[in-house]
A and B are shown apart, each in its own frame.
Chain A
């Protein structure tokens, strides 16, 4: 099915009763060329690019719950490409460029909104760090603007500029950054991939790997039976260690919970995505009017998909320091998602030491913006058996060789990234 102005009009005029299903709910076949574990944004994007870009169409995506029930449907929807280190800079910009054409590519409205992302700074040292990051971006052909106080005041007059402890001095702005409707991203990839013949199989949990006499992975055991595979790609976000364990692999990853919050709807207030540089708080306003915000991870290993009070308090304090008037706004909902925190805060996209098994993991709390880029480069790796040039540094052995990509400079402390 293809969406067009006529199909939308037809559906509207017939009382919205004739919408067709947007992807096929497939039953598993005996064997696929590529099986992808995990029906989040990354798994579905991988399937789409395998089919559309690399011509591999005998593909299945296996999802233990429903597609988008993981972090793809739990994140705060921010997309940006304001990274400073080699490896990250090019990759996130590749992803940003794919966001910019996603709706046309997928024939699906994923509500990509380039409303701008601004990181506020509150000290001279922070300004210098942001200036450096902005320069790195511009050298690499990525848009960045360093704003002074007057420019920030003009753009966001509602901030608390009288804060003696954390005075806003300016901000680093990426105008091409913004937000996207996270569920629609999942549905869009499912819609488009399914249209090219990819099987999307929900309620299908992978419970083990099938291996031949040489140890090569030749398929997966699932809650819906055994499925053969030429290659198996893992894109299971917070469950990476658990799934890798079934293949006897230990990863440089810890699972931690990150919370997110939404307020009741208010009139349009925040024009962009904003981060508070003096603490950890970021916020944007959804198209429905709710303030969508979050901050730090809870900081201890967790698979519970729910958080605890101290971080809630800390996040709300950050918001209050920046915009005291939001103290009058009621909190509508709060939830948690499980992220695989890698030991340097950067992702891993690589073949594993187990033949036939490929890994896409370690996205920490920043992998939503990576969704199209991750799918593109992972599909490249699965199809060609060599890393895409923009993901060549996301190696699994970089912790052993010392080639870490530690954007935050925190070392092997995943709870600090």
Chain B
């Protein structure tokens, strides 16, 4: 598996760190226990195409949003995650 970083180009997997499913959104402070339980512990655990957060620590140190198929490892899109690291260059 190789990831094409929008800033650095195609790089080997070892340069990146996985941060998991990009879908869960941190609930508001007053959202209640159920919302927090859901956010921290439950996962869709998709078998198929999933949006994920990756960190390019061995390169530009930007946060990336990667669209990847968990059944085949095929990557169909990589975008800068809004608001972080080198992504600010474009903002």
A interface with B by C-beta (< 8 Å): 241-242, 250-255, 299-304, 306, 308-310, 313, 343, 399-400, 412, 415
Q: How far apart sit A309 and B68, CA to CA, in the bound complex (Å)? A: 18
Known contacts A242-B47, A250-B42; is-contact A304 B13 (Cβ 8 Å): no
Instruction: Find out whether the CB atom of A303 lies under 8 angstroms from the CB atom of B47.
Output: yes
Q: Return B26 CB to nearest CB of chain A, in Å.
A: 13
Q: How far apart sit A106 and B57, CA to CA, in the bound complex (Å)? A: 52
Instruction: Find out whether the CB atom of A310 lies under 8 angstroms from the CB atom of B18.
Output: no
Q: Report chain B residues within 8 Å CB of A309.
A: 12-14
Q: How far apart sit A34 and B70, CA to CA, in the bound complex (Å)? A: 32
Produce 1/0 per residue, B10-31, CB < 8 A to A: 0011100010110000000000
Instruction: Find out whether the CB atom of A412 lies under 8 angstroms from the CB atom of B41.
Output: yes
Cβ of B40 under 8 Å from chain A: yes
Instruction: Find out whether the CB atom of B52 lies under 8 angstroms from the CB atom of A300.
Output: yes
Instruction: Find out whether the CB atom of A251 lies under 8 angstroms from the CB atom of B37.
Output: no
Q: Return B57 CB to nearest CB of chain A, in Å.
A: 13
Cβ of B71 under 8 Å from chain A: yes
Instruction: Find out whether the CB atom of B72 lies under 8 angstroms from the CB atom of A304.
Output: yes
Instruction: Find out whether the CB atom of A343 lies under 8 angstroms from the CB atom of B70.
Output: no
Instruction: Find out whether the CB atom of A251 lies under 8 angstroms from the CB atom of B18.
Output: no
Instruction: Find out whether the CB atom of A301 lies under 8 angstroms from the CB atom of B45.
Output: yes
User: What are 26 of the A-B contact pairs (CB < 8 Å)?
Assistant: A241-B45, A242-B45, A242-B47, A250-B44, A251-B45, A252-B41, A253-B43, A254-B20, A254-B43, A254-B45, A255-B47, A255-B70, A300-B52, A301-B20, A301-B45, A301-B46, A302-B73, A303-B47, A303-B71, A308-B73, A309-B13, A309-B14, A310-B12, A310-B13, A400-B37, A412-B40
Q: Report chain B residues within 8 Å CB of A306.
A: 73
Q: Report chain A residues within 8 Å CB of B44.
A: 241, 250
Cβ of B86 under 8 Å from chain A: no
Q: Report chain B residues within 8 Å CB of A304.
A: 70-73
Instruction: Find out whether the CB atom of B70 lies under 8 angstroms from the CB atom of A301.
Output: yes
Question: Which residue of the partner chain A has the closest CB to B34?
Answer: A400
Cβ of B89 under 8 Å from chain A: no
Cβ of B1 under 8 Å from chain A: yes
B interface with A by C-beta (< 8 Å): 1, 12-14, 18, 20-21, 33, 37, 40-47, 50, 52, 70-73
Instruction: Find out whether the CB atom of B12 lies under 8 angstroms from the CB atom of A302.
Output: no
Q: Report chain A residues within 8 Å CB of B40.
A: 343, 399, 412
Task: Identify B14's interface contact among A303, A310, A412, CB under 8 A.
Answer: A310
Instruction: Find out whether the CB atom of A251 lies under 8 angstroms from the CB atom of B42.
Output: yes
Q: How far apart sit A253 and B45, CA to CA, in the bound complex (Å)? A: 7
Instruction: Find out whether the CB atom of A300 lies under 8 angstroms from the CB atom of B18.
Output: yes
Q: Return B10 CB to nearest CB of chain A, in Å.
A: 14
Task: Identify B13's interface contact among A250, A251, A308, A399, CB under 8 A.
Answer: A308
Q: How far apart sit A86 and B13, CA to CA, in the bound complex (Å)? A: 38
Task: Identify A302's interface contact among B20, B42, B43, B70, CB under 8 A.
Answer: B70
The 6 lowest CB-CB distance pairs between A and B, nearest first, are: A241-B45, A310-B14, A300-B18, A252-B41, A399-B41, A250-B42
Q: Return B32 CB to nearest CB of chain A, in Å.
A: 12
Q: How far apart sit A400 and B40, CA to CA, in the bound complex (Å)? A: 10
Known contacts A299-B18, A300-B18; is-contact A241 B43 (Cβ 8 Å): yes
Given contact pairs A300-B18, A309-B14, A310-B14, a sample of 6 additional A-B residue pairs in the complex whose CB atoms are under 8 Å apart: A300-B52, A301-B20, A301-B50, A309-B12, A310-B12, A343-B40
Q: Report chain B residues within 8 Å CB of A313.
A: 14
Q: How far apart sit A252 and B24, CA to CA, in the bound complex (Å)? A: 13
Q: How far apart sit A251 and B50, CA to CA, in the bound complex (Å)? A: 17
Q: Return B40 CB to nearest CB of chain A, in Å.
A: 5
Question: Which residue of the partner chain B has the closest CB to A344?
Answer: B41
